[in-house]
Chains A and B, each alone.
Chain A
């Protein structure tokens, strides 16, 4: 009878974490920046069809980096969770906080119990009724949940990006300024020009559904 090799739990977790981090580092990053009317989400994305940023609910959006099929699975699950909660109770009962804690559980469970962890980082943003009431949550591959203010970044270059964003961030930026800040932060962190942008906003003046994708023209006029 063969006895399986003993692997220390520390080693196991370290290996899984390293594996996930490597996967995430291959993908391109996404930033979120609060501006005067809401939250801007900006991603480096050469594709016009495969989105990394998506509407979740009236005032909530989702962004994911890493393996496409994995964050796409999570994106759909978040939308399902939100729509079910809103249908069972009321639209106002769906919050970024509720969704973020739920999916931090999911990712944490997968990290521990599955052979291969998800190679993803996700961001859940919510625009508040007033400036200063916005919410930005980051969830990493192992389920760790971060609550951010002002700016947030996910992906391989998230630390460099956040540093660059913090340097230029102030409260009450206009949308154009926020876009320029994001683009400039990517330039600093990546040290090269982007091949394409995907951008969307959660705009509190946009009616019930705050989510809106920015068109190429809108971006080009600013960048």
Chain B
């Protein structure tokens, strides 16, 4: 199928979708759990969030994955650049979510290369919703994946963000959004401090402080661990594209937030 034997040139190779291509070749990942089985003991990602600011949008996530009451991974990454102008964050069953992200990243780039133009931000969000909907049977068996999507809309010239639910519902958030075990806590923190005119620097501070607020009350969410040097992943997306916020800036914000939370 792969390697030296090339993919056949003609039909039934589909148009511009990578997921469609995998389907047509029988290579699509199969998400199936036998009926009645309840997989347990899988790592779960916890809290991720995004908020809009004047120039775009900031997206952040803690670094912990848990298995029940135990810490499964301390350094996991839950926020990923999806393409040049968008990022995706994940919560829920980590293994499935990370594969979903990989598929999503390849899909966006594949479309861009085949068509010679990027999908609209709306188009990317709708496609992600479709991927999430494909996971519904798994979600019914407890393997839930709920991503968030944020990006810079090149047409509207502003940052936008979307949250999802397990049935593939897609909700555009006006100011901020969060998903995962500490989402409620992060959102209630943001509700009290968010202003629509925040700038990028302030948005990074608020994002980190909201994660700290969530970690104070939700044991699954990992707060910044300054002793080990574990800091949240923070990405900023604006007209220049998506880029990771400097570690020094995140560290300063984390130190302040931890101090204030005491």
Is A222 part of the binding interface, using a Cβ–Cβ cutoff of 8 Å?
A: no
Q: Which of B6, B9, B103, B113 contacts A54 (CB 8 A)?
A: B113
Q: Beyond A76-B114, A85-B3, A86-B106: 17 further Cβ-contacts under 8 Å?
A: A54-B113, A77-B7, A77-B13, A79-B110, A79-B113, A79-B114, A80-B110, A83-B18, A83-B106, A83-B110, A83-B113, A84-B2, A84-B21, A87-B102, A88-B27, A102-B4, A105-B4
Complex alpha-carbon distance, A73 and B13, angstroms: 11
Choose from B5, B21, B102 the contact partner of A80 (Cβ within 8 Å): B21
Q: Are B6 and A81 in contact (CB under 8 A)?
A: yes
Expressed in whole angstroms, the minimum distance between the Cβ of B214 and any Cβ of chain A is 32
Decide yes or no whether A56 CB sits under 8 A from chain B: yes
The answer on a CB contact under 8 Å between A88 and B2 is yes
In the assembled complex, how far is the CB of residue A102 from the closest CB belonging to chain B, in whole angstroms?
4
The answer, yes or no, to whether B12 is at the interface (CB within 8 Å) is no
Which B residues form the contact surface with A (CB < 8 A)?
Answer: 2-7, 9, 13, 18, 21-22, 25, 27, 102-103, 106, 109-110, 113-114, 116
Interface residues of A (CB under 8 A from B): 51, 54-56, 73-74, 76-77, 79-81, 83-88, 98, 101-103, 105-106
B5 near A102 with CB under 8 A, answer yes
A residues less than 8 Å from B13 (CB atoms): 76-77, 80
Residue from B7, B9, B109 in contact with A84 in the complex, judged by beta carbons closer than 8 Å: B7
B92 to chain A, nearest CB (A): 22
Residue of A nearest to B29 (CB): A87
Residues of B within 8 A of A83 (CB): 18, 21, 106, 109-110, 113
Given A83-B106, A87-B102, A88-B27, CB of A56 within 8 Å of CB of B6: no
Q: How far is the CB of A44 from chain B (nearest CB, A)?
A: 19
A84 close to B25 (CB less than 8 A): yes
Partner of B2, one of A77, A85, A106: A85
Contact A87 B113, beta carbon cutoff 8 Å: no
Q: In the complex, what residues of A have CB within 8 A of residue B2's CB?
A: 81, 84-85, 88
In the complex, how many angstroms separate the beta carbon of A139 from the nearest chain B beta carbon? 12
Nearest-Cβ distance from residue B161 to partner chain A, whole angstroms: 24
Chain A residues contacting B106 (CB-CB under 8 Å) are 83, 86-87
Task: Return the contact of B6 from the options A51, A87, A88, A102 (Cβ within 8 A).
Answer: A102
What does DSSP make chain A's interface, helix, strand, loop or mixed? helix
Complexed CA–CA distance, A83 and B17 (Å) = 11
A81 & B4 in contact (Cβ 8 Å cutoff):
no
Do A103 and B113 touch (CB < 8 A)? no
Chain A residue with Cβ nearest B14: A80
Do A54 and B110 contact each other (CB < 8 Å), given the known contacts A74-B9, A83-B18? no
Q: Of all chain A residues, which has the CB nearest B81? A: A208
Min CB distance A130 to B, Å, is 25
Bound form: Cα–Cα A85–B6 in Å: 10
Docked Cα-Cα span, A81 to B22, in Å, equals: 11
Query: Which residue on chain A has the smallest CB distance to residue B116?
Result: A51
A77 and B102 contacting across the interface, CB-CB below 8 Å: no
Can you list the 3 inter-chain pairs with the closest CB atoms, starting with the nearest? A102-B6, A106-B6, A83-B110
A162 to chain B, nearest CB (A): 27
Q: Whole-angstrom distance between the alpha carbons of A2 and B32 in the complex?
A: 59
Q: Chain A residues near B22 (CB, 8 Å)? A: 84, 87
Chain B residues positioned under 8 Å from A77 (CB to CB): 6-7, 9, 13
18 contacts between A and B (CB under 8 A): A73-B9, A76-B13, A77-B7, A79-B113, A79-B114, A80-B110, A81-B7, A83-B21, A83-B106, A83-B113, A84-B22, A84-B27, A87-B106, A102-B3, A102-B4, A102-B5, A105-B5, A106-B6
